[in-house]
Structures are given as structure tokens and as C-alpha cells.
Amino acid sequence: MRALCWNGVNDLRVETVADPEILNPKDVILKVGLSTTCGSDLHLIDGLIPTMREGDVLGHEFMGEVVEVGSEVTKVKRGDRVVVPSFVSCGECFHCAQEQYSLCDTSHPKPELAEPILGYPTAGIYGYSHAFGGYSGAHAEYVRVPFADVDCFIVPEDVSDETALFISDAAPTGYMGADFCNIQQGDVIAVWGCGGVGLMAQQSAKIMGAEFVIAIDRYPERLAMAEALGAVAIDYTKVDVVEMLKDLTGGRGPDACIDAVGMEAGGRGIQQAYDRVKQALYLETDRGYALRQAMMACRKGGTLSVLGVYGLMDKFPMGMIINKGLTVRAAQQHGQAYVPRLLEHAQRGELTPAAMATHHFSLEDGPKGYDMFKHKTDGCVRAVFKP
Amino acid sequence: MQAQSHHDDLAHQDGLAHDDDQDRAASVSAAVTIGKSANEVRSLWLDPATLPRIMEPMARITPRADHTADWEMDAPLGRTLHWRTRRPEETDRLGWTTVDGADVPNTGTLILRPAPGDRGTEVTLKLRFDPPGGLLGSGIARLFHVVPREMAMKALYNFRALALTGEVPTTEPQPAARNGGMDK
Ligand SMILES: NC(=O)c1ccc[n+]([C@@H]2O[C@H](COP(=O)([O-])OP(=O)(O)OC[C@H]3O[C@@H](n4cnc5c(N)ncnc54)[C@H](O)[C@@H]3O)[C@@H](O)[C@H]2O)c1
Ligand SMILES: [Zn+2]
Ligand SMILES: [Zn+2]
């Protein structure tokens, strides 16, 4: 089959690889319907996450049709149209039982690579480096999905392929980020980043009853999309964000701040220069501009909800958390906990992720799609591939 | 006090042996908690199919009828190390020891303890390798392709996966643009 493969920093190629096979009895094989780019892939493409190997198949946000079923799969059937969260989760372990699906204790085939970095291995992820399990990704004609009864969710007929696609990753991530904020009546939520994850966090915060939502980014088309979802949009290159947030909240500051930016954050001033130099020298993989700003802006006793992906950041302003009494919540997405709810929100028209599919490509044009996504060419929010 | 002795037990599990036998032997240990009763964990361990599955691909193990097993491990420079193991004689102990003639004499000891609350069973695997002097180039870490601490940790990870899901996570073979289109 054909697949989009990582071959080094900024080197993606579509290549011919073997078809996936059922390896364990709870596996299925999916014929990929649609797959899409995620901001997390940029960390791999930019070389900020080690343990990629040349020839790895990328892609962790996808949906498709079940074409082959392992001997112990009982719920999912051949022909089912399903969406699959980006983490492989067993549904049986301590963490899965607590709906901490991205922390699954049993789905990592290479735990010895993860333990030295994090202390304990996380769940495996599709197409996201060997320290995260080394599973072959979904930018391909077919993909193997382990623990299918737990990880495949049937898409209702009235939910389109495009909507279902984002309920794999961007939507559950954003929704989880809003869920972390424990939104109460009158709460104002600020979201850094208007990519797929940020936009979904904004819409989710509205669904959960936020008084209003403030969206921060620099790209006009992304800010316009945030406004279309009902958020107040701020261009961080044009104003002093912290001051602006104070103005908008009567001096209180947002009750919760969501970071949907991550380690490639853009920024201004000395701190940004410092971060960039260290990142360039590989002394530090992270540019934490957005995260630091979110901590500064957040009201005392508020919640900092971190969805952006970071490496091992030094110079972390811990004093901000302790002195302001902030609650920090962070995780990789626990998608399996949220997908059923998200499909219902989509059916009721409350969740509208399909608009993020701004650019469509064949799988063969995958490298071009990633290039446009990375550089946000032509207003690209998500590049969607159809194998 | 029990907590104290438990701690002493685990005190030298940081991947290296004591100074006096630094290059001679390696004692390592790793632990996982499995959400199953000690009896369930024990009977899974005693199933002759289990050890070969959880040690794969670090070691190739062929169980034999008389509670012994033949092990093969790949070593640097293309060599393969062999040994035969037997179960401990005491029926209340879990693990293995090598019989005479092992390329690298070793023992494995599995210890089960109840975990607090309803968390199941704490499972500790201790490995000890006593390579004969002649085999050692630059220390135990170079003896196998896998370092002993990783071996203990990965075997237990796989053991827990098998106990909870009936599967050992794997990605091989799978599509990749290398080795003729797949990892294997
Ligand atoms: N936690 C999870 O499970 C999970 C899942 C998916 C993605 N992510 C992470 O979430 C982050 C966002 O993902 P995405 O797909 O939306 O990425 P994206 O690249 O599409 O969007 C990131 C946005 O952040 C904006 N931005 C950059 N610097 C900023 C700043 N200083 N202030 C405000 N906005 C800024 C960019 O302009 C861009 O629009 C990434 O770090 C990604 O790795 C996490
Ligand atoms: Zn993602
Ligand atoms: Zn699990």
C-alpha cells in the first residue's frame, strides 16, 4: 500500500510499504477513509521529538471502515464506519478504568524507551515516534487498530466523515481541555492557539456554559474562525495580551486559561529570543511563550489547562503557580472518554469541527499538505488526506 | 519492620550491582502492580507459555516437559548465549535458576505482595546474572543486546499486559518504509 513516511527533519515522502496485518486477537484493520495533520506532527517534522526512525508511517487523527476483524473482537464488525482516538488503550488497566486512556498501562510495545524519559511509559500512539510505542500511523491506505472494541467508535449515519475525523484527536483534546477547567456560571475562558485543538477547546468551553471565550492567535483566518464559533479574538502580535485580558474581565483575569499552542509557540521580546536560541542549540526543545503568558494572565486561584505538547522545559516559572494558587491540569487526550459525547454534540449541531478541513489532498500529495499546514499557507487550518 | 526490609530488598535495583562485583554480576529488579489477585497472577506465571511470550524478543525460551526451559539470548559480535533453567524446588517460590553448564549462570525471582486498597498485586522481578570472567568485555551492560534492568522491566510490563488483556503489545511485523516495506 501507499503511506506517508517520515524520513528525517522536514523530509516526508509517500512510499510503498507492506499492508498491515492483524497481530493480536483484539485487532482490526481499518481502510482509512480520511486522515489529517495535527500540530503534534510538527514536533516530529521539526525534529523536536527523538526516537523517530526513517521510514515510519505518520498520522494519528483518522477515521475509516473496518475491513478485517481479529478473533476476539466482539463489538466491531466488518463494514462499520468508525472513528479511532489517537492513543491505543486497552480498557482493562488501572488507568483505563479511570478514563485516563492516554496513560494506558498495557499498550506500549517499547516501554523500555519511554521509562527513562518519563519514569513510566504512556499509552502507545499511532505514528508518533518509538518512545510513544512506534505504532505505524494512519496516513496510509490501511492501518491496524489494536483493542478495537475499546478504541473504535461507530459513527452515526448523520455525522459526516469530516466531522468524525476530528473527533479522533482535535475535538476530544479541546473538549478535555475545557473539561479540565470545571467551568462554573460566569466563568471566562481564554484559549491560546486557534489551530484545530484551540478551536475545539473554544467551542467546547461554550458548550459547557462559559460566560464567554477569548481566543488568542496571530493568523487572521484562524481568528476569524474563532469568532465564527462565538469567541472574542485577540491578535497577540498587535496588543499586550495580559492587559487586554484584564480589560475584558474587569481586572479579574480569565478564570481558566487553556494552552493549545505547545512547544513551537511564537512570541515577542527577550523571552522569545532566549527560547529560540536555546531551541536552536538543542539545549531546550520548548519555546514556552504562550504558556508563560497564560500563567501570568490567569486569575488568582484559576486553572491552567495545558493541551500543548512540551518536552522537558527548563526555566519554568513555578513561582507563578504557587503564589497565585493555580490549579494545573494537563494531559495527552483521553479520547475514549469523550468520543460518544462528542458524536452526540455533533449530531445536535453544537460541535462543528468539519469547517477546520480547509484543504483536501490525495495521500500522494501528503508532503504538500503538510507543508501548507506547517506554514499556514492559504489559510490552511487542517490538511485532510483521502487515500 | 516489614516496610524496612522491603526497602532494603529493593535498595540495589538501580541497574548496577554493588561496587565489589561491579563487573562480575548484575542484580537488578523491577516492579509493576497488576489489578488481579495473587492467585491469578501466580497461575499465569506458572503457565509454561507465559515466560516465552513476555521475554520475546529479548530471549527465545522453549519450555520443556519437566519444568525446565531452554533459553537463547543474542549477544554482541553475532554470538548466541544458551542456558537451561529449572523452577525453584520450593513450591512457594516463583522464578528460575540455571542448571550447570549455562553460558551465563542466572536466577530470576518473582515476588508477589498484595497491593494496597483494591489495586491488586505488586509483582517484583529480580534478575541476577553471574557471567564467568572470560565472557566479560566491558561489563554486564555489554553482555547482551538488552541491559538486565530493561529486561526485567519489559518482561513485567508484558506480563501485566498479558494478565489484564490476554495480549502482549507488539508492532511487528508492521508497515514501514525500510527493510522491504516492513518492520519485522
Ligand atoms: N494533549 C493532546 O492530546 C494533544 C492532541 C493534539 C494536539 N496537541 C497539541 O496541541 C497543540 C496545538 O495543536 P494544533 O493541532 O491545534 O496545532 P496548530 O499548529 O494547528 O495550531 C497552533 C496555533 O498556535 C498559534 N500560536 C503560536 N504561538 C502562539 C502564541 N504565543 N499565542 C497564541 N497562539 C499562538 C499558532 O499560530 C497556531 O495557530 C500542539 O502543541 C499539539 O502538539 C495535544
Ligand atoms: Zn494530534
Ligand atoms: Zn489500559
What number is the ipTM of this complex? 0.93
Q: How far is the CA of A168 from the centre of ligand 2 (A)?
A: 9
| Domain-embedded: residue B180 | no
**How many other β-carbons are positioned within 10 Å of the β-carbon of residue A371?**
16
**A residues 105-144 closer than 8 Å to B (CB):** 105-112, 115, 121, 124, 133-136, 140, 144
pLDDT for B134 beyond 90: no
Does A21 touch chain B if contact means CB atoms closer than 8 Å?
A: yes
| Burial status of residue A291 (CB atoms within 10 A of its CB: 0-12, 13-18, 19 or more) | buried
The CA distance from A266 to the nearest CA of chain B, in Å, is 33
Nearest to A22 by CA among A182, A147, A176, A207: A147
What CATH number has the domain bearing residue B116?
3.30.530.20
Which ligand has an atom closest to residue A94 CA? 3
Which ligand has an atom closest to residue A62 CA? 2
**Which of A197, A236, A279 for a ligand 1 pocket mutation test, highest count of atoms within 8 Å of Cβ?**
A197
Q: Give the C-alpha separation, A261 to A228, whole Å.
A: 20
Provide the domain count of chain B.
1
The CA distance from A89 to the nearest CA of chain B, in Å, is 11
pTM over 0.90? The answer is yes
Q: Which three cell numbers stand for residue A61?
A: 487523527
Ligand 1, CB within 6 Å, residue ranges: A 38-40, 42, 169, 173, 192-198, 216-219, 222, 236, 260-262, 265-267, 289-290, 307-309, 332-333
Q: How far is the CA of A311 from the centre of ligand 3 (A)?
A: 24
Q: Given the CA of residue A102, which atom of ligand 1 is nearest to it?
A: 3
pLDDT-derived band at B136 (thresholds 50, 70, 90) equals low
Q: Is the dihedral of CA A173, A177, A183, A187 positive or negative?
A: negative
Q: How far is the CA of A133 from the centre of ligand 2 (A)?
A: 15
| Domain-embedded: residue B176 | no
| Domain-embedded: residue B177 | no
Q: How far is the CA of A236 from the centre of ligand 1 (A)?
A: 14
Query: What residues make up the domain containing B94?
Result: 5-165
Q: Which residue of A has its CA nearest to B177?
A: A55
Q: Which residue of A has its CA nearest to B158?
A: A106
| Domain-embedded: residue B170 | no
pLDDT for B138 beyond 90: no
| Domain-embedded: residue B14 | yes
The size of chain B, in residues, is 184
Cα–Cα distance list, A299 to A96, A202, A206, A233, A367 (Å): 33, 18, 19, 19, 42
Q: Calculate what percentage of chain B has a pLDDT beyond 70.
A: 82
Q: Given the CA of residue A61, which atom of ligand 1 is nearest to it?
A: 6
pLDDT at B137: 57
Can you list the domains of chain A with their CATH numbers? 2-169+333-386 (3.90.180.10), 171-330 (3.40.50.720)
Q: From the list B146, B167, B175, which residue is nearest A18 (CB)? A: B175
| Domain-embedded: residue B183 | no
**Which residues of chain A make contact with B30, given a CB cutoff of 8 A?**
none
| Domain-embedded: residue B174 | no
| Domain-embedded: residue B21 | yes
For chain B, give percent helix, strand, coil, nearest 5: 30, 30, 40
Q: Give the C-alpha separation, B84 to A118, whole Å.
A: 36
Cα–Cα distance list, B183 to A20, A53, A134, B20, B110 (Å): 10, 11, 10, 42, 32
* Average model confidence (pLDDT) across chain B: 86
Q: How far is the CA of B143 from the centre of ligand 3 (A)?
A: 34
Query: Coil, helix or strand for A93?
Result: coil
For the residues B135-144, what does the mean pLDDT come to? 67
pLDDT tens track, chain A, 387 positions: 999 999 999 999 999 999 999 999 999 999 999 999 999 999 999 988 889 999 999 999 999 999 999 999 999 999 999 999 999 999 999 999 999 999 999 999 999 999 999 999 999 999 999 999 999 999 999 999 999 999 999 999 999 999 999 999 999 999 999 999 999 999 999 999 999 999 999 999 999 999 999 999 999 999 999 999 999 999 999 999 999 999 999 999 999 999 999 887 776 665 666 666 656 555 455 578 899 999 999 999 999 999 998 887 777 889 999 999 999 999 999 999 999 999 999 999 999 999 999 999 999 999 999 999 999 999 999 999 999
